[in-house]
């Protein structure tokens, strides 16, 4: 009688010839166990590679249905203006669960599936909220990792979103976190990678020293020349805003048009995840 074409161990089926070679050799059963365990690991890992993402509806994708009142329309308008003025595409996404994946894997795969940001510049950002896992994540594209380093992404979540999320105020937490990211991108897009808002004490001391020296020189030599006064009238000086200062919502840009889809951008897996 011909042997059965397949041989099964622990519910994993192998061709009988391969199974015989593995089990008959020295240490064959150990090798068979290793093969079985490897197959099991690969089987359990399949859900991470089979995530199901809906098509994006716009910049704001409230699949969990947590945004209240006019918050969704407000954020949609702000993010449309952000792309118009800065070329940055930001997606805000709420989901009920992560389909068994961790937040980092889910965000990375969603980012890739949607192509957030424009191809080449990769200036995209994903803000993700998962209700069941009680996790939120900010993931920037390659082109924004310098402006939104991991530490700053974590700080935005901890200071702006998580306090609301702890109290179940999902809509307020999404709005606060998203607008903090927008302020960063609109007011400090050229900031150094390790700058997390505001001047350091050393820089402030240096500014004060320079001002004192200028005042002493002005007093000693009778004031600046007319040419200096003419220039200083038009120079920007140290005044300005943007960044983390100010309250309320985002209002720095105006723009029109609707959502035309994301542009094929990619992410390197940077950013930060927070839980509560």
Number of domains in the chain: 2
Domain for residue 160, yes or no?
Answer: yes
Each residue of 241-264: pLDDT tens digit? 333 333 334 344 334 456 668 877
Decide if pLDDT at 184 tops 90: yes
CATH of the domain at 173: 3.10.310.50
Global pTM?
0.61
CA-nearest of 20, 22, 182 to 91 is: 182
Helix (H, G, I), strand (E, B) or coil at 257: coil
If you search the block for the tokens 């999902």, which residue do you land on? 170
Check whether residue 139 and residue 267 sit in a common domain: yes
Containing structural domain, residue 171: 60-193+245-275
Check whether residue 142 and residue 266 sit in a common domain: yes
Check whether residue 38 and residue 95 sit in a common domain: no
Domain for residue 257, yes or no?
Answer: yes
CA distance linking residue 13 with residue 6, whole number of Å: 6
CA distance linking residue 127 with residue 258, whole number of Å: 20
CB atoms within 10 A of CB 196: 17
CA-nearest of 47, 74, 76, 81 to 61 is: 76
pLDDT band at residue 24 using 50, 70 and 90 as cut-offs = low
Check whether residue 134 and residue 23 sit in a common domain: no
Question: Which of left, alpha, beta for 235 (phi over 0: left; psi -120 to 50: alpha)?
Answer: beta
Each residue of 71-87: pLDDT tens digit? 999 999 999 999 999 99
CA-nearest of 171, 188, 5, 176 to 86 is: 188
């Amino acid at each position: 009688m011909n042997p059965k074409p397949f041989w099964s161990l622990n519910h994993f089926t192998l061709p009988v010839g391969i199974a015989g070679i593995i089990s008959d050799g020295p240490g064959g059963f150990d090798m068979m166990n290793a093969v079985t365990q490897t197959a099991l690991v690969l089987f359990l890992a399949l859900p991470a590679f089979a995530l199901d993402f809906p098509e994006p509806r716009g910049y704001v994708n409230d699949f969990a249905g947590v945004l209240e009142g006019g918050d969704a329309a407000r954020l949609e308008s702000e993010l449309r203006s952000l792309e118009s003025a800065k070329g940055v595409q930001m997606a805000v996404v709420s989901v009920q669960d992560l389909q068994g994946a961790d937040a980092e894997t889910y965000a990375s795969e969603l980012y890739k599936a949607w192509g957030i940001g424009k191809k080449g510049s990769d200036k995209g950002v994903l803000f993700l909220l998962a209700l069941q896992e009680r996790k939120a994540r900010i993931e920037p594209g390659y082109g924004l990792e310098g402006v939104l380093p991991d530490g700053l992404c974590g700080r935005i979540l901890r200071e702006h979103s998580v306090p609301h999320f702890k109290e179940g105020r999902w809509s307020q937490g999404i709005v606060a976190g998203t607008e903090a990211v927008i302020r960063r991108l609109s007011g400090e897009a050229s900031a150094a990678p390790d700058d997390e808002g505001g001047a350091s004490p050393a820089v402030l001391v240096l500014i004060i020293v320079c001002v004192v020296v200028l005042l002493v020189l002005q007093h000693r030599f009778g004031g600046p020349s007319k040419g200096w006064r003419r220039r200083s009238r038009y120079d920007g000086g140290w005044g300005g805003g943007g960044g983390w200062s100010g309250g309320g919502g985002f209002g720095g840009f105006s723009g029109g048009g609707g959502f035309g889809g994301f542009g094929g951008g990619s992410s390197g897996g940077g950013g930060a995840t927070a839980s509560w």
